Structure 1
Amino acid sequence: MTAVQAERPPVEVAGVLGSGADDPLRAAVVAALATVVDPELDEPITDLGFVRSIDVHARPGGDAPASSSAAVAAVIHLRLPTSFCSPNFAYLMASDAKDAVAALPGIDTVVVELDDHHDSDLINAGLAADAGYRGTFRHEAEQDLEELRLTFKRKAHTAAAERCLTELLRADPSLVEAAVGTVTLADLPAGRHTDALVRRREALGLPSRPNAVVLVDQDGHGYPPDAVPLALRRARSTRISIDGNAHFCRGLLRTRYAGSGTDQTERVDGAEPADHHHLIPIHVKES
């Protein structure tokens, strides 16, 4: 443990993202963390409640306030819904968090630690040493992180396209599934779903011009009319999987960490308010 970490041990603070809002440097740290996305759930770690604590202060040995241009340390603790969440996802989020905060002007020391995970010690040591993913997990690192990112960027794009097309189908009962294969970005209504789709296309290098077809495969190719319904159903299963996992993980986090729901914000599609958690009813049949 470094001197920075030892000085202020992590504490459980409900509403950690909203506290200290009058400190512009701390607010910048929160904004930087909001750019870090859980690859599997396709949501910012700040929205999911994965940020446990944020501490921005003058480095040990200095007496300058955190808001000044002097040497400043940022110490961030992350938490996950379970102790056995996938280590590669955990490392990716923690590493991205460190990179995002380290890029901020005015902060010269960044410590990111993952709490209460079965690989916390290994991940935290790798982050502290800037060892990288393969340097941290060595022979256990079966897949490169960039390959993992690409896989989940593609899934996020597929889900975003399905949301837009399903919204279009619901708005126009006369539109049949086979016809959505020719729908272009220009045909979509303006709004957050369309904006989200465009961002995900740009992240993959897919065309985002108005006449670009919405329903495409991972290489940007469209589908013939007879293949569109199946392609749309597959896209729907991907979207349901992402949304379902996100809903489940939010609930697990609230169960594991009391008060963590305060740090969860409403999903971008409005489907998951932080203070509202329904369980699927269980029906027991008589023998």
Structure 2
Amino acid sequence: MATASVSDSRERELWRRLGEVNDPELDEPITEMGFVERADIIGDGGVEIDFRLPTYWCSPNFAFLMLDGVRKALDQLSWSPAYRVRLHDHMFAEEVNRGIEEGKTFGDIFAGLAGDEDIGALRETFSMKAFKRRQEAVLLNLRRQGLTDREILGMDLAAYDVARLGPGDAAKQKATYRAALVERFPARRQGDPLFVTWEGQAIPPMGLDAYLADLRAVRINMEFNGALCRGLKQTRYKELEVIDGEPTLVDFIMDRVPERSAPAT
């Protein structure tokens, strides 16, 4: 009984940690995107991960950022297991998996695959988009609670922590924006304004509508990319939905969608 309890606890912790890793472009958990195909704890406590992206030609830089996030998540597991991560059906899967088996870091593996693109700059671009998307969600929620723009923009962290944002996803959005703010501005002091631009500039109450329009454009772009990514993955792998053992309408439709092939290079 005790062994089963430990196993269940470890499995919950494993999936919780993996759920904290986001697709950097979409700011959505890789577990919800379906990229973690398998995450198993084997007999000796080791962890095996099978990872699959929506297309064969997904940018190696995107793959690096996600796999590096997976590595960091596994390093934080309380029982410090040995682990194996395998990337499947990707144009650089062989190089990545061989590098992992040889004990190379993800940084070493991808250094020769990333070309001239600056991984650090790419990571910051995605962090900026996530910051803006999370900020918009919170600002709109606070408006829906009846606060004026002046009251919202005058909030500091202390006021924010006791504020109620409403039901549903509001509590999660509140926490994720707080995390993004503290990560971006770790030296913020008590009383500093809560809502600032990515560059740290104050947002004037009279300018909030225009600022929200810019945030909305970022969100729409991210939502479009997310829908496209899910569609590509579903079309590629034809994930079946079964109800009471019978194929659903989704199965019927997806069986008739032609396979997508990688574009010619």
TM-score (norm 1): 0.67
Name the counterpart of 2:57.
84
**In 2, Cα distance between equivalents of 1:147 and 1:216:** 21
Q: Relative to structure 2, which stretch is displaced further, 134-143 or 77-86?
A: 134-143
Do the aligned partners of residues 140 and 194 (structure 1) sit closer, same or farther apart at CA in structure 2, a change above 3 Å counting? closer
Q: Is the 8 A contact 2:60 2:114 kept in 1?
A: no
Instruction: Return closer, same or farther for 1:261/1:41 CA change in 2, 3 Å cut-off.
Output: farther
Moved more, 208-217 or 93-102: 208-217
User: Structure 1: which amino acid aligns with 2:164?
Assistant: P
Q: Which residue of 2 aligns with 1:213?
A: 193
1:117 paired with 2:90, answer: yes
Distance in 1 of aligned mates of 2:136 and 2:33? 22
More helix by share: 2
Other-structure match for 2:73: 100
Q: Distance in 2 between matches of 1:208 and 1:261?
A: 47
CA distance change for structure 1 residues 164 and 75 in 2, over 3 Å: closer, same or farther? same
Residue 166 to residue 41, structure 1, CA distance change in 2 (3 Å)? same
In structure 2, the gaps of 5 or more residues are: 243-249, 251-265
What amino acid is aligned across from residue 230 of structure 2 in structure 1? Answer: R
1:161 is aligned to: 135
In structure 2, the CA distance between the partners of 1:80 and 1:115, relative to structure 1 (3 Å rule), is same
Map Cα deviations across residues 27-67 of structure 1 (whole Å, 9 max, x no partner).
3322221121111111111121111012322xxxxxxx44x
Matched-pair contact (CA < 8 Å) for 2:64–2:106: no
- The Cα offsets for residues 194-241 of structure 1, whole Å up to 9 and x where unpaired, read as 222111111212577785434422232113456443322111111222
Contact (CA 8 Å) 1:158, 1:238: kept in 2 or not? yes
Residues 88 and 143 (structure 1), Cα distance of their counterparts in 2 relative to 1, 3 Å cut? same
Secondary structure of 1:23's counterpart equals helix
Instruction: Report the Cα offset of residue 86 of structure 1.
Output: 1.9
Q: Which residue is equivalent to 2:155? A: 184
8 A Cα contact 2:35 2:53, kept in partner: yes
Tell me which amino acid in the other structure corresponds to 2:221: S
Q: Which amino acid aligns with 1:182?
A: L
Aligned partners of 1:248, 1:103: CA distance in 2, in Å? 32
Structure with higher RCO (Cα < 8 A, 6+ apart): 1
Q: CA separation of 1:54/1:194 partners in 2, compared to 1, >3 Å: closer, same or farther?
A: closer
Tell me the distance in 2 between the aligned counterparts of 1:207 and 1:232: 25
Cα-Cα RMSD: 3.3
Q: TM-score, normalised by structure 2?
A: 0.71
Between the aligned partners of 1:148 and 1:260, the Cα distance in structure 2 is 34
1:31 maps to 2:9: no
Q: CA deviation at 1:139?
A: 6.7
- Alignment-derived partner of residue 212 in structure 2: 232
Aligned to 1:8: none
Identity of aligned residues (%): 29
> CA offset at residue 106 of structure 1?
3.5
CA deviations on 1:73-119 (whole Å, 9 max, x unpaired) are 31101111222222111122112212321332445421111111122
Report the Cα distance in structure 2 between the residues aligned to 1:252 and 1:208, rounded to whole angstroms.
41
Partner Cα separation in structure 2 for residue 98 and residue 143 of structure 1 = 22
